[in-house]
Amino acid sequence: MQHNEHTANKTIDEARQGEAIMMPTNEGTSKKLYLESYGCQMNFADSEVVASILSGQGYETTQDSKEADVILLNTCSIRENAEQKVRVRLKDFKKQKNQNPELVVGVLGCMAERLKKNLLEEEKLVDIVAGPDSYRDLPNLIEEVGSGQKAVNVLLSREETYADITPVKLDKGGITSYVSITRGCDNMCSFCVVPFTRGRERSRDPQTIVRECKELFNLGYREVTLLGQNVDSYRFNLSAKGEIKDENLPTTNFAQLLEMVAQVSPDMRVRFSTSHPKDMGDDVLEVIAKYENVCSYIHLPVQSGNTAMLKRMNRGYSREWYMDRIAAIKRIIPNYCISTDIISGFCDETDEEHQDTISLMKEVEFGFAYMYKYSERPKTLAERKFEDNVPDEVKSARLEEIIALQGQHSLKQHQEQVGKTVKVLIEGPSKRSDEQLFGRDDRNSVVIFDRGDLKKGQYVMVHIKDCTSATLFGDVVEVLPPHPIQHIEL
């Protein structure tokens, strides 16, 4: 899952950190909800589930926290600085609450799970603490606060996937959307807090995933990103629903799910995140190659280029294994783009180990990377077993080297696109000028071109004439006709 921090080329998602989000208004009600999301794409998807649950209770959203009756922050614990950002916000809201004691402030997501009652009791910053599996309980929790109590639900579940809840789309008229396919993570990478905050991995019923994608298509969305901490370990057996207990029933794996979603419509683009090198099989790559609407962009976090380090990280693969997966992508998918996550300065990292990361980057030439300094997280295997002993200056220097190299690779890959003509899904006006639009190509590069008479949601062919490491610029040479079926029967 991408947590946007140091990126060689900024993404649109990056602008979304700490974004306030709006729900459609519910006339005739007076309760106002202000919802702010931090961290990974899963949190943004979850906020739409929360919006759906609370709109059923008559909550109307506002973008102005000052007029809210309820303020909810959907939070991230992945690194220390992600938590710091939220604490600063909570202190602002605490001041607001001092002036308006009726105001209800709640923390959702990973920080809720990690800190449990601390935020309520010791720090007295909030009224509600609700972990990622307890959003159905939010109406009750809000009611409890109304009757003068503090309310906590941080129970993690082995079953909850919110499969039956249709998320309320918060970006009305949007073109791209996230769809959760799994929750939680069973991998236990030694640096990572996610298995503790999001619990055990569970897969969502494929029928509900396909249905949600069809509904999104009918609402005008033209791209879905299937989300999970490790999409390749998606496995759904009917017996998991608890209705039929028969392990011999057919199981749907990720390659099969991807194919089912690809068949929703040729005009619905499909992306997914995050792939795990230890689990990504050739079957998934073959589905990408088979369907034009499944994008050739794979986010495959490597974390480090050194096998001993990967072992300390408990990643479950070696450098050689990772390079074998890269070779498979290059062999099976024409015009691929590979992105990655890299951590600098994990416990005991030597200069040689760091140089192995640099050499792996040079071998692969990632199109894009999310790059982080190691941040020790409480309860993780690393915190218990190893010492966070790489000095901060060394972590920073290594990170700088990684960022600089990635910048060169991103630019080089974009330069290779100049002169080519690429298919772009138009997402909206470009940030810099209303006279220009932006979209993404199959490889996930942002492409900018003149507006003309074009509209978001259309597919166009763009001849690329210029680039930076972050963006491609070009001229539209063809507007592609929409597929004849623009409404799908559910």
Site of interaction with ligand SF4 (CB under 6 A): 185, 187-189, 192, 194-195, 229-230, 276
Please choose which of ligand SF4, ligand 5AD, none residue 3 contacts, taking the beta carbon within 5 to 8 angstroms, the exact cut-off set by kind: ligand 5AD
Please choose which of ligand 5AD, ligand SF4, none residue 417 contacts, taking the beta carbon within 5 to 8 angstroms, the exact cut-off set by kind: none
Residue among 373 and 423 whose Cβ is closer to ligand SF4 = 373
Question: Taking CB positions, which residue lies at the least distance from ligand 5AD?
Answer: 341
DSSP class of residue 127 equals S
Residue among 188 and 403 whose Cβ is closer to ligand SF4 = 188
CA quadruple 197, 202, 208, 210: dihedral sign: positive
User: Do the beta carbons of residue 228 and residue 234 sit within 8 Å?
Assistant: yes
Please choose which of ligand SF4, ligand 5AD, none residue 377 contacts, taking the beta carbon within 5 to 8 angstroms, the exact cut-off set by kind: ligand 5AD
Please choose which of ligand SF4, ligand 5AD, none residue 79 contacts, taking the beta carbon within 5 to 8 angstroms, the exact cut-off set by kind: ligand 5AD
Residue among 187 and 415 whose Cβ is closer to ligand SF4 = 187
Residue among 95 and 384 whose Cβ is closer to ligand 5AD = 384
Least separation in angstroms between residue 251's CB and ligand SF4 is 21
Please choose which of ligand 5AD, ligand SF4, none residue 37 contacts, taking the beta carbon within 5 to 8 angstroms, the exact cut-off set by kind: none
Asked, as a colleague might, if the bond just before 7 is cis with ω within 30 of 0, I would say no
Please choose which of ligand 5AD, ligand SF4, none residue 254 contacts, taking the beta carbon within 5 to 8 angstroms, the exact cut-off set by kind: none
Q: How far is CA 317 from the centre of its chain?
A: 23
Rounded Cα–Cα distance for residues 251 and 15 (Å): 38
Please choose which of ligand 5AD, ligand SF4, none residue 78 contacts, taking the beta carbon within 5 to 8 angstroms, the exact cut-off set by kind: ligand 5AD
Residue among 7 and 458 whose Cβ is closer to ligand 5AD = 7
Q: Which residues of this protein are in contact with ligand 5AD, per CB under 6 A?
A: 1, 3, 78-79, 191-192, 301, 303, 341, 343, 372, 374-375, 377
Write out the two tokens for 436.
């220009």
Write out the two tokens for 328.
């498979």
Please choose which of ligand SF4, ligand 5AD, none residue 343 contacts, taking the beta carbon within 5 to 8 angstroms, the exact cut-off set by kind: ligand 5AD
Least separation in angstroms between residue 433's CB and ligand SF4 is 38
Q: What is the C-alpha R_g of the chain?
A: 23
Phi, psi (5° rounding) for residue 262? -60, -30
User: Do the beta carbons of residue 307 and residue 317 sit within 8 Å?
Assistant: no
Least separation in angstroms between residue 351's CB and ligand 5AD is 19
Least separation in angstroms between residue 192's CB and ligand 5AD is 4
Phi, psi (5° rounding) for residue 478? -160, 140
Rounded Cα–Cα distance for residues 163 and 121 (Å): 33
User: Do the beta carbons of residue 24 and residue 168 sit within 8 Å?
Assistant: yes
User: Do the beta carbons of residue 286 and residue 263 sit within 8 Å?
Assistant: no
Residue among 113 and 259 whose Cβ is closer to ligand SF4 = 113
Residue with tokens 């309860």: 379
Rounded Cα–Cα distance for residues 198 and 229 (Å): 10
Residue 33 CB: number of other CB atoms within 10 A?
24
Least separation in angstroms between residue 5's CB and ligand 5AD is 8
